[in-house]
Amino acid sequence: MDFGENLRKIFSKLSNTTIIDLKTIKEFNKELQKILLSNDVDVKLVFELTNKIEKEALKTDLPPGVTSKDYIVSIVYKELVNLVGAAYEPELKKKKILLIGLYGSGKTTSAAKLAKFYQNKNLSSGVICCDVSRPAAYEQLETLAGQAGVAFYGEKKEKNLKKIIENGLEKLKDKKIIVCDTSGRNALDSELSKELKLVNSVFKPDETILVINADIGHVVEKQAIEFNNAVNVSGLIITKMDGSSKAGGALSAAHHINTKVMFIGTGEKINNIEQFDPEKYIGNLLGIPNIGSLMENIQNAINEANIDVSKLNPEKLDFETFYTQLKAMNKMGPLKQVFGMMGAIDLPKDVIEKGEEKLKKYSVIISSMTIQERKNEKLVHNISRIARIARGSGTSEKEVHELLADFNKMKKMMNMFKNDRALKNKLGKFMPH
């Protein structure tokens, strides 16, 4: 069970509580302490946090019309947001960014993701490979840069870091953002420290970002201090923040050494990086819907899938439109993440897995249809066509029938929505204008 799921579980116990008294808060805080400590949040911070929660919860009576669960959620939300620090707002200007960290922290992937992030903000970006110790580093960063659509520079067999950096800066001089990926080690030893100081002196970064794995635990604080002593650290990127990770150590370390969390990695896809927003992060942990993120994710997915929205007719759902929607959903990342943004974060795992499997299968089936069949669903009800589509997609006729049934359910739902003004008005405030 992950960090957020454990938090939501103890909140659910408050659902039947009508009175907020000292006993209720003591019991709640005891369970909260266990969860935070098991997720590597610093002991001192845990007790400071729960003391504040107790003081705030007992300060006033339960407000009229507010449930005890919602009241405690609001207090914990506020205190956790204060714990993890302020939101990061990146400066959208020309700059050089140096990424540092140990083996397995996700530096190389983060380099491409970060370059892509800034390129999406209309700042031309490129990456330089300065990892000369890991054999596959050059190929990995080159491939990721290609996926991200950003410029790449590296010298495959060159070991002279000064030469690589100088040539890379010259080659990418027309780019607004240049991200430099560096070598890692199992620990910050004297050799790595010397190498980082050399890279730092030649590259002259505007920002030096330490990349750390979310589930690294308490040692992250010591790590951050050591890296900061070697080269002045501007902030952190925390990777693997997309599920069962135990991010408490990383977050409390940032709090202790007064280092800001700049970005978090939320998945494997090249767009799965976000500037750190404590309100959004804590909201996700507590199961509070994040419609803003959902809308942003949808827009990124549409752009990634090269979908021309102007050609979509929302009043008419056919297999062509449905196929386009499936392509966009595939670009949005795991269904768990999408449902999480909607506040439905604790759906059973098997439901999500079956849903993802079904969406993939439906994409394959529709891709085996002719253009005419995609635009006229009635054609697909023909037995011989169903048999041909099943053969062409490597599926069964039963699975094609399932697609037809689900497709018709979706059409009915769309018609209900179209004719329900109250529902449209309710959801309208979440829609981009």
For residue 283, give both structure tokens: 């909201």
Classify residue 83 as exposed, middle or buried by CB count within 10 Å of its CB (0-12, 13-18, 19+).
Answer: buried
- Among 51, 84, 117, give the residue marking a domain's end: 84
Alpha carbon distances (Å) from 263 to 234, 239, 278, 281, 293: 12, 8, 11, 11, 15
Residue 33 shares a structural domain with residue 126:
no
Region class of 151: left (phi > 0), else alpha (psi between -120 and 50), else beta: beta
| Bridge partners (DSSP) listed for residue 211 | 237
Domain around 232: 95-285
Q: pLDDT digit string (tens) for 245-299?
A: 556 666 666 776 677 889 998 888 898 898 988 877 777 777 655 444 444 554 5
Q: pLDDT digit string (tens) for 32-66?
A: 898 888 877 778 888 988 998 888 888 766 666 66
- Among 236, 254, 285, give the residue marking a domain's end: 285
Specify the range with the lowest mean pLDDT, choosing from 8-12, 200-204, 267-271, 386-390: 8-12
Whether 329 maps to a domain, the answer reads yes
Tell me the three state secondary structure of residue 95.
strand
* pTM for the model: 0.64
* Domain CATH for 252: 3.40.50.300
* Domain CATH for 336: 1.10.260.30
Residue 159 shares a structural domain with residue 259:
yes
Alpha carbon distances (Å) from 215 to 1, 204, 238, 240, 264: 14, 30, 9, 8, 13
